[in-house]
């Protein structure tokens, strides 16, 4: 399992995610970015940053 704290990438955001593996992260980030950050699309650099902030659990 991987966990990701959005606040590591977007200062001030308190959202946390848990995904079965790294491949599942982009869709989670995209859904959250759209719903909570108002982003219609997720920039590749944000996905990259999210991957870099993943923690194995």
Residues in the site for Zn ion, rule: CB under 5 A?
A: 6, 10, 13, 15
Kindly state the smallest distance separating residue 54's Cβ from Zn ion, in Å: 15
d(CA 33, CA 54): 16
The C-alpha angle 25, 27, 33, rounded to 5 degrees, equals 100
Helix (H, G, I), strand (E, B) or coil at 4: strand
Kindly state the smallest distance separating residue 9's Cβ from Zn ion, in Å: 8
Kindly state the smallest distance separating residue 30's Cβ from Zn ion, in Å: 11
- CB of 1 or CB of 31, closer to Zn ion: 31
């Amino acid at each position: 399992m991987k966990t990701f704290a959005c606040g590591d990438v977007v200062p001030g955001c308190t959202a946390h995610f848990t995904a079965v593996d790294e491949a599942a992260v982009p869709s989670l980030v995209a859904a959250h970015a759209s719903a909570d950050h108002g982003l219609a699309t997720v920039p590749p650099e944000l996905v990259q940053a999210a991957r870099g902030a993943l923690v194995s659990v």
